[in-house]
Structure 1
């Protein structure tokens, strides 16, 4: 029965995810975004290495190159990375924080594609060190470690992409179940602790606002984890429950034009592209893999994709992207956030959507 449902969903999904207008063709969009990435300078944390938003974009571009068998693009993306082994070695992020550690997903992805051992040797310690308590750990970090969770646990919604992406990649390259178990165990913790009754997530327990991109990290994190998690894994039912609850609520808050706003439940706020792209990705993944009803969510995903594409300018920059945003218990603060053109926070999830649409 489950297989039949999945096959039905795939057939219906092809109808919703095919025959796009020229400007919305996933391959065309992917080429444009990947070219723009290669033209871009590094985004840095000051003296703490390459920023996670660039890593997310780079990771997406690599997957796009693989899906389209674009060996020239693979070569250019690898050439950009090769500098990190010598000339730009100082830009490697230190494994001292959840945002820096997720860098490991990038060399691990390159190892999957090339089997070059240098990538494995560089990437795997970023995954391992998320569970190795540093000598200078504070009391809260020690507490999480003693409970079997990553010492980098913060109960911030961003973490459910930053932790899971590197652990998932480590699982794929090693086959060691401890990595996927870590990711699933963390996800269940976060769902139990911070998911609201309506399926969405506050930016933080003391900041009761449904910020779009923050929720987007959870949406993408759950979708990617469900894709990688074995069907018989003990934590799969709980994660699926959390994912379905979130998707139902997101569908209810999608605007008539297809986008989601900077604060999801505030109709007077502006449409925000990075969160919209993340939710669209989660919808596409759910429809294609049979987790979501295709006839209900397929049209919503298609509408969102068609609404997103016009926000890409002629240079391949995504517009209306909320800048990196810390929590603040002030609604106006979220409304007033700057919207830098071409911010990697927006470029990345757009490429992820391209990949989800192209995957068979």
Structure 2
């Protein structure tokens, strides 16, 4: 009898853990990640390019495309995967001019897309296209200004701005380069950069100002940081010297986000302002970070699985019959004005939101 009690006491924590994780598997019809992912990914096939300053494939489209690819792979939807690949083929031919140049953090991230395609297809042409976008983030241009030179001398990317957005833009292309090449320099770069941003920008409450001179907790800006840490932790070797610091920063942020989750299960345009409107792109990024944290054991499943489930179901309610996400903040530069963030226009179907919804769907579908 005594042995049976001991075994039962040993098993209970594991049963509770699996019960909590199952909350991220069983969803009502119409809210399953398979259904929502399919709606969003096939919508992407019909979408027009969203060009950065009217010239090149922009980061919102890049991340929407990446999300669709990930969904297609997990759903084993070969037709979708082929169509997404076919759409990219034009960037080698008549749309070649839309390949971004390599002079800014917001355009270099494009390299993550061909590198993702390489991981799925093993076609070297994607390797050759994508890798220079990762390399050029650390190759100081001939006409670099003094600030860029100073960052480079310290071992950081010359594209460093100390905007929290950077910690997804830089991290996503460097982690993909690491996954493709297995060259440790890429993951070391991303980790070193992330630690510096954590040290410079994370506040005592775990959240991040948009920039040192903009003391507001903007939703999507914090979303880029949350998603960037998540992507990095997914790739960082367990024994990497910077992993404890990044995991500490990640958990500190997640704890704060759990406290600021609004009654419907999402987050506001300014996270700490209860009278601010619910914003879906940042909310999707936070949900992605919660899901990954629970599934990888970085977060306590008992605490975070219910929060992630509530957030996902709430996100689905913002998807309209045209498979477009509502209440998405438009592209936003930094500004030291609280009212500026309150007044940002809201859009439906903006790629800033469409992509992160797919990240969530894919994360829920992963084993």
1:125-204 correspondence to structure 2 within 5 Å = 125-204=132-211
Residue pairs, 1:56-135, within 5 angstroms: 56-135=63-142
Partner of 2:319: 312
The 5-angstrom pairing of residues 163-312 of structure 1 reads: 163-312=170-319
Larger of the two Rg values belongs to structure: 2
**CA distance in 1: counterparts of 2:278 and 2:206, whole angstroms:** 21
C-alpha change, 1:336 and 1:5, in structure 2 (3 Å) is: farther
Worse overlay, 197-206 or 40-49: 40-49
How far did residue 46 of structure 1 move? 2.9
Deviation per CA, 1:292-329: give whole Å up to 9, x if none: 00000110000011111010010110010000011112
Residue in 1 aligned with 2:19?
12
Secondary structure (helix, strand or coil) at the match of 1:130 reads coil
Separation (CA, whole Å) in 2 of partners of 1:27 and 1:317: 16
Aligned to 1:322: 329
Distance 2:12 2:42 in 1: 38
Post-superposition shift, 1:12?
Answer: 3.2
1:350 and 2:357 equivalent?
yes
Q: CA deviation at 1:23?
A: 1.6
Q: Measure how far apart 1:335 and its partner are.
A: 1.2
Q: How much does 1:279 deviate?
A: 0.5
DSSP 3-state at the match of 1:149: coil
Match of 1:41 among 39, 48, 56: 48
In structure 2, the residue corresponding to 1:247 is in which secondary structure?
Answer: helix
Whether the 8 Å CA contact 2:24–2:309 is kept in 1: the answer is yes
Shift of 1:5: 12
Unaligned runs of 5+ in 2: 1-10
Question: Hey, what does 1:340 align to over in structure 2?
Answer: 347
Relative to structure 1, the CA distance from residue 302 to residue 151 in structure 2 (aligned partners, 3 Å threshold; closer, same or farther) is: same
CA deviation string 1:221-258 (max 9, x = no partner):
00111111000000000000000100000000001210
Return the offset for 1:47: 4.4
Runs of 4+ in 1 over 3 A off after TM superposition: 4-10
| CA offset digits 1:65-113 (Å, max 9, x no partner) | 1111110000110011000001100000001101100000000010111
> Which region of structure 1 is more displaced relative to structure 2, 9-18 or 283-292?
9-18
Deviations 1:261-300 (A, max 9, x none): 0000000011000011000000001001101000001100
Aligned equivalents of 2:24 and 2:176: distance in 1?
A: 27
The structure-2 alpha-carbon separation of the partners of 1:137 and 1:7, relative to structure 1 and needing over 3 Å to count, comes to farther
| Structure 1, unpaired ranges of 5+ | none
Query: What is the CA–CA distance in structure 2 between the aligned matches of 1:65 and 1:81, rounded to whole Å?
Result: 15
Q: 1-side partners of 2:15 and 2:219: how far apart?
A: 31
Q: What is the deviation of 1:48?
A: 3.5
CA contact (8 A) 1:6 1:289 kept: no
| Distance of aligned partners of 1:16 and 1:45 in 2 relative to their CA distance in 1, 3 Å threshold | same
Q: How many residues align?
A: 357
Give the Cα separation in 1 of the matches to 2:17 and 2:142. 50
SS in structure 2 of the partner of residue 24 of structure 1: coil
Task: Decide whether the 8 Å contact of 2:21 with 2:294 is kept in 1.
Answer: no
Local SS of the residue matching 2:233: helix
Query: So what's the TM-score if we normalise by structure 1?
Result: 0.97
